[in-house]
Amino acid sequence: MSSRADAVLNMQITLIPILVKSWKLNLQQLSDLFKEYDLLSYIDTCYELFNSTGNQGIVDELEEYIKIQGGTIK
């Protein structure tokens, strides 16, 4: 059985192509959003919730998190 940190990392990596496709971004644009809004940390914080949420629910939650901080998906 893997540790929580391994599971979180796996989720973060798995979300990359899903977010690229959903948000119609290239990898650099997604990387910029991850840095600007510290999305890796947010995914870690919400891991338990996200673990029982479908991919679209996670995408929607991350988008809402960015909007709450005054950002947009470009």
What tens digit of pLDDT does each residue of 4-38 get? 999 999 999 999 999 999 999 999 999 999 999 99
User: What is the tally of structural domains in the chain?
Assistant: 1
14 belongs to a structural domain: yes
Candidates 2, 1, 10; CA nearest to 50 is 10
* Residue at 31 is within a domain: yes
Q: Per-residue pLDDT tens for 40-67?
A: 999 999 999 999 999 999 999 999 999 9
- 61 CB burial (10 A radius; 0-12, 13-18, 19+): middle
Q: Is 74 contained in some domain?
A: no
Asked if the model's pLDDT at residue 1 lies above 80, the reply is: no
Contact between 25 and 74 under an 8 Å Cβ cutoff? The reply is yes
Q: What is the pLDDT of residue 42?
A: 98
Let me know if residue 73 belongs to a domain: no
Per the structure, the complete domain to which residue 16 belongs is given by: 4-68
pLDDT score, position 74? 75
